[in-house]
Amino acid sequence: MTTDRIERVARLNRNRLVCAVAACLMAYVIARLLVRDIAPMPDATDLIHIGQMIAVFCLPVMIVVAFGVWRRHAGLIGVGTCGCIAAGIWVLVA
Amino acid sequence: MRETLRTRLGWLHGWLGYVAGLVLTCIFATGSVAVFNMELTRWMQPEVLRAMPAPPTATALDAAARMVALEKAQGVLAFVALPGCRSPTLDVLHYNGHEFVGARLDPTTGALIPARATAGGGLFYNLHHTLYLNAQMGTVIVSIAGIALLVAIVSGVVIHIHALVPDIVMLRLSVARLRAWLDAHLLAGVLFLPFMVMMAYTGVLVKADMTLPGPPFHSMPLRTSSPPRAPMQALTYPPLAPLLAQARASLPGQEPGFILFAPNGVHIFAGDASSAFLTRDHADFRMPDGRALPVNTAASPVARTMQLMRGLHYARFAPPGLRWLYFLSGLCATTVMASGLVLFVMKRRRHAGHRQAHRLADGLNIAVIVGLPVAMLALLWGNRLVPVRLNGRESWETGIFFTVWGLCALHALFHALRGQASWAWRAQLGLAGLLGGSLTILDLLCCPAAFQALPGLHMAVDGMALLAGVTAIYARGRLERP
């Protein structure tokens, strides 16, 4: 392998790693916001459970979308937008 | 290098699958065995010869209540587990920080059965849901691994979506080794995809209070290994037999499973085997007169759904046939992960085989794929060989399990880092074959009475060990071929 190719592969792997970590963190924060949006009150056990069911379903999908759709970081931006909406709802409800 | 969705998700599937796969293989292997945790505990206590459960008599229940009161006076919070089809004895149990341990009583006479102290099947259950770590940290790590499995499944489906159906009928064991491993990974992965998704989703969901808690943003209080409680005043309880009869009437369609004792009352809980919904419905009785309090078994649809999720994951309702199906599906899911680990290392051998990181990965694979089964078999051997009356016997058994696993890991890493991983594979597979193949003989020599009293149980456990041994020897033979 040429040095140029090795460098390109290393850069690609580094970018992928950073993107994977960012996707995981972003998806986790959104999943938690989702639970809080659905169950704003601490004593609403049923709503908390519904929120958790939806969040556990969405979390892996969000990670795959945020990481997989890489062109111009469309996945990260899309998932981030969902996060902003979730945070906005949380602020409104609060 | 051209970046496509498949290459990108292939990278995520490979790396995330490998890192989480090391933990997930242990979680799925121990979880599969933990489906039979109570049966394993019965095998590991050959002094308990009773085959069929009998309804507990008033004498036995009162003996159990006296034992609970005595333990309470020593600061131990014990409860009574009633006999069921999986455990025919009346048990007085307490939580020791890792598992439920305690005395076994004859349900007819109330006499103490002098059964050996054992780590039992509870060790595998504990390893499965906390990795034998602190309850909070272990559960969070297992939940993260569960989410990683879901991510690996979604990415794996995306990269193989065009060939999901052909993969079901594609298994070419006689082609090149890499291709054969890939076929095995894909075949088992596609066939057991629903099972893996169900177990990963329900497993993460039932512990979601720790990873995705509701408001406020703090985790739920946990039962952890706390220092021994101060001795309490011994309490006397009303006769339990009438309370049990009342509880049976108040919990229609559910058989009582546990009796918990609080300072102000007695609570009789429905057994987990009653239905697929793990309800925890209970009948309460006031102390000291034993008067029944109103029972509320109503649950909202969401609560019922959560009960079903718990029931599906724990599978305590399952009759023996379904339990075997859970066990075999769990083993096949373990095969998917183990074959994924091997594939990850094989695919990189040509380019990175000389690197220490690659050799380390090879060593870790051996420690997980062969070391863990060897340690499991060593635990069963330890159960028969450690003296019955030894103090702290269950700790010795646990010690044997982790020592053997640790030694296997060291042996694998030592050889793999010197570039002789195949030697470690062969040696440990041979050891697994030896331990598994000769367990039946050891069992027959040490506990002939138990083998005669419970032949089905002993043949099942010994047979599984024999099967593991034969599989290990077969795999060793395949390794020696070019």
Confidence of residue A10 (pLDDT cuts 50, 70, 90): confident
Question: Would the CB atoms of A52 and B3 count as touching at under 8 Å?
Answer: no
Across B109-255, the runs of DSSP E, i.e. the strands, are: none
B272 DSSP 8-state letter = T
Higher-pLDDT residue of A71 and B115 is: B115
- Strand duo B256-262 + B265-270: pairing: antiparallel
Q: Specify whether B417 is located in the same domain as B276.
A: no
Q: Specify whether B371 is located in the same domain as B478.
A: yes
Contact present, B84 and B53 (Cβ < 8 Å) = yes
Question: Would the CB atoms of B151 and A64 count as touching at under 8 Å?
Answer: yes
Q: Specify whether B275 is located in the same domain as B423.
A: no
Contact present, B93 and B78 (Cβ < 8 Å) = yes
Q: Which residue of B has its CA nearest to A30?
A: B212
Q: Specify whether B364 is located in the same domain as B466.
A: yes
Q: Specify whether B264 is located in the same domain as B370.
A: no
Residue B153 lies in a domain: no
How far is the C-alpha of B53 from the C-alpha of A67, rounded, in Å? 54
Distance from CA of B308 to the nearest CA of A (A): 13
Residue B45 lies in a domain: no
Q: Tell me, what's the pLDDT at B4?
A: 85
Q: Tell me, what's the pLDDT at B228?
A: 53
Q: Tokens at residue B8, please?
A: 């990108």
A66 touches chain B (CB under 8 A): no
Residues 6+ apart with CB under 8 A from B154: A60, A61, A64
Tokens 């009948």 locate to B283
Domain holding B80, by residue range, is: 53-110+224-295
Question: Would the CB atoms of A67 and B8 count as touching at under 8 Å?
Answer: yes
Distance from CA of B166 to the nearest CA of A (A): 24
Q: Tell me, what's the pLDDT at B168?
A: 65
Domain holding A10, by residue range, is: 3-93
B299 touches chain A (CB under 8 A): no
Contact present, B369 and B181 (Cβ < 8 Å) = no
Residues 6+ apart with CB under 8 A from B58: B239, B240, B241
Phi, psi of B104 (to 5 degrees): -115, 130
A76 touches chain B (CB under 8 A): no
Residue B419 lies in a domain: yes
Task: Give the end-to-end CA distance of chain B in Å, rounded to a whole number.
Answer: 33
Interface residue of A64, A72, A79, A91 to substitute, partner B, most B CBs within 10 Å: A64
Q: Tell me, what's the pLDDT at B234?
A: 57
Question: Would the CB atoms of B208 and A42 count as touching at under 8 Å?
Answer: no
B292 DSSP 8-state letter = B
Quick one: three-class SS letters along A21-89?
HHHHHHHHHHHHHHHHHHCCCCCCHHHHHHHHHHHHHHHHHHHHHHHHCCHHHHHHHHHHHHHHHHHHH
Residue B193 lies in a domain: no
pLDDT digits (tens), chain B, 482 positions:
678 888 899 999 999 999 999 999 999 999 999 999 999 999 999 999 888 888 899 999 999 999 998 888 888 889 999 998 888 999 999 988 888 888 999 999 999 999 999 998 999 999 999 999 988 999 999 999 999 999 999 999 998 887 766 666 666 666 677 788 888 888 888 889 999 999 999 999 999 999 999 877 544 454 445 555 555 555 677 788 889 999 988 888 888 999 998 888 899 999 888 889 988 889 999 887 778 888 877 789 999 999 999 999 999 999 999 999 999 999 999 999 999 999 999 998 888 878 889 999 999 999 999 999 999 999 999 999 999 989 889 999 999 999 999 999 999 999 999 988 999 999 999 999 999 999 999 999 999 999 999 999 999 999 999 999 999 999 999 887 76
Residue B269 lies in a domain: yes
Among residues B295, B326, B343, which one ends one of the domains?
B295
How far is the C-alpha of B102 from the C-alpha of B399, rounded, in Å? 19
Task: State the average pLDDT over residues A32-59.
Answer: 91
Q: Specify whether B386 is located in the same domain as B289.
A: no
The angle, 0 to 180 degrees and rounded to 10, between the axes of the packed helices B439-446 and B372-385 is 20
Among residues B250, B269, B295, which one ends one of the domains?
B295
Q: Tell me, what's the pLDDT at B73?
A: 87
Q: Which residue of B has its CA nearest to A31?
A: B212
Quick one: three-class SS letters along B335-401?
HHHHHHHHHHHHHCHHHHCCCHHHHHHHHHHHHHHHHHHHHHHHHHHHHHHCCCCCCCHHHHHHHHH
Tell me how many domains chain A contains. 1
Question: Would the CB atoms of B214 and A42 count as touching at under 8 Å?
Answer: yes
CB pairs under 8 A between A and B: 85
Q: Specify whether B401 is located in the same domain as B482.
A: yes
B211 by Cβ neighbours in 10 Å (0-12 / 13-18 / 19+) ranks as buried
Higher-pLDDT residue of B54 and A23 is: A23
CA distances from B274 to B84, B86, B205, B277, B279 (A): 10, 13, 22, 8, 9
B356 touches chain A (CB under 8 A): no
- Strand duo B265-270 + B90-95: pairing: unpaired
Q: Which residue of B has its CA nearest to A56?
A: B205
Q: Tell me, what's the pLDDT at B209?
A: 92
Residue B30 lies in a domain: no
How far is the C-alpha of B247 from the C-alpha of B285, rounded, in Å? 9
Task: State the average pLDDT over residues A10-33.
Answer: 93
- Name the residue among A47, A56, A60 with its Cβ closest to that of B208: A56
Residues of A in contact with B215 (CB under 8 A): 36, 39-42
How far is the C-alpha of B25 from the C-alpha of B369, rounded, in Å? 8
Tell me how many domains chain B contains. 2
Mean predicted lDDT score pLDDT of chain A: 90
Residue B170 lies in a domain: no
Residue B83 lies in a domain: yes
Task: State the average pLDDT over residues A40-69.
Answer: 92
